[in-house]
Amino acid sequence: MIGRFNHVAIAVPNLEEASKKYREVLGAKVSEPQPEPDHGVTVVFVELPNTKVELLHPLGEKSPIQGFLDKNPSGGIHHICYEVEDIIAAREQLKATGARVLGDGNPKIGAHGNPVLFLHPKDFYGTLVELEQAKPAA
């Protein structure tokens, strides 16, 4: 069911400092911060030759990553993202096995403009898993 690895997301306490470190210390190509109000985060994309890293910082009062940063004040890996071809088919297949989908269970539009869902970390070895419906190959 899962296809390509899409990205790993790291929650950071200071987005400017983290962007600078990825750009200047690690020498990576780093985007400008992009606010994602629907997801309660500001994202910086780190473009690598074979994948992406996303640096996440809370945006707004009810950010879903605030609690994570409270528990991990110096930051940490927040989730990993796998691509799927059909997110509704994937969701139904997973639910049938007892896996829990977070939120209301309906896909939201993610940071790349594609539908995404999150799976409960307790069902996947302590790792929050994001599924993203990849754009069909042109």
Residues that bind Co ion (CB under 5 A): 9, 81, 130
94 versus 117: smaller Cβ distance to Co ion? 117
CA distance 76 to 107: 25
**CB of residue 89 to Co ion, shortest distance in Å:** 20
Q: Where are the alpha helices (DSSP H) in the chain?
A: 15-20, 66-71, 87-96
Q: Where are the alpha helices (DSSP H) in 32-117?
A: 66-71, 87-96
**CB of residue 7 to Co ion, shortest distance in Å:** 6
**CB of residue 118 to Co ion, shortest distance in Å:** 9
94 versus 110: smaller Cβ distance to Co ion? 110
CA distance 72 to 74: 6
6 versus 94: smaller Cβ distance to Co ion? 6
Neighbouring C-beta atoms of residue 105, cutoff 10 Å? 10
Residue numbers annotated as active site: 130
CA distance 80 to 10: 9
